[in-house]
Homo-oligomer: A and B are copies of this chain.
Amino acid sequence: MGITERKEREKQQRREGIIQAAEKVFFSKGFDHSTMDDIADEAELSKGTLYLYFKSKDVLHMEVAKKAIILLNTCTSRAADKGTNALEKLRQMGRATIDFFRTYPDHMKAIIALTGIESGRLGLTTTDVQGILYDVSSVGMVLELVEQGVKDKLIRSDIPPVLIAHTLWMQLMSVIQFVSVEESLFDLLELSPDKVYESHFELVLNGIKS
């Protein structure tokens, strides 16, 4: 039946439209200050319809973050190709993440909110988050690269790759958080975000070298 298929397609489109509206509203007003009515207006739908497609505001938040993670993932995988070995690929991925943050700061903040401590704040289980983190995020690729790096004797082998991978990921998130929280500190200390990132990569990659 072609009708069923078309309907399914339309449903998907509506769903997508709602997510886009939510994204726009969340990013412009912040999650807490966005109301479901705002999103409904933006999506040109009634509030009731939103709840036909998404169980809660929190779920909508997660969907927005998921889309952001997928976008980040495409950026980082593309960047990884530019590196010549595992360590270089990792560095490129890191830089790409920084660039991503510069280009889409709101997207990045949504990702950090999802994967950080406040995932509990939302009505999500850690399993939900893990699904997203492993299926669509960069962590999976980082892990592969670390394993490759260990094999090539570029990365120390006395620590399980999965730990190194997570450490790299979390540390990158933390430096981005640092920059976005402490912005006003920079002038005072004659620092720049770039210097911070530079030092970060220096310190971190130095730490994992074999």
Contact = CB atoms under 8 A, between A and B. Distances in A.
A196 interface: yes
Contacts of A180: 117
Interface of A: 30-32, 109, 112-113, 115-121, 126-127, 129-130, 158-160, 162-164, 166-167, 170-171, 173-175, 177-178, 180-185, 189, 191, 195-196, 199-200, 202-204, 206-208
Contacts of A164: 199, 203
A163 B184 contact: no
B118 A200 contact: no
Q: How many copies does the complex hold?
A: 2
Contact of A167 (B116, B162, B200): B200
B170 A203 contact: no
Given A121-B30, A196-B163, A181 B116 contact: yes
A158 to B, nearest CB: 8
Contacts of A118: 113, 118
A160 B121 contact: no
Nearest to A32: B121
B159 A199 contact: yes
Given A115-B181, A170-B175, 10 more contacts: A116-B116, A116-B177, A116-B181, A120-B181, A160-B199, A166-B182, A167-B199, A170-B178, A203-B204, A204-B207
Given A166-B182, A174-B173, A174-B174, A202 B116 contact: no
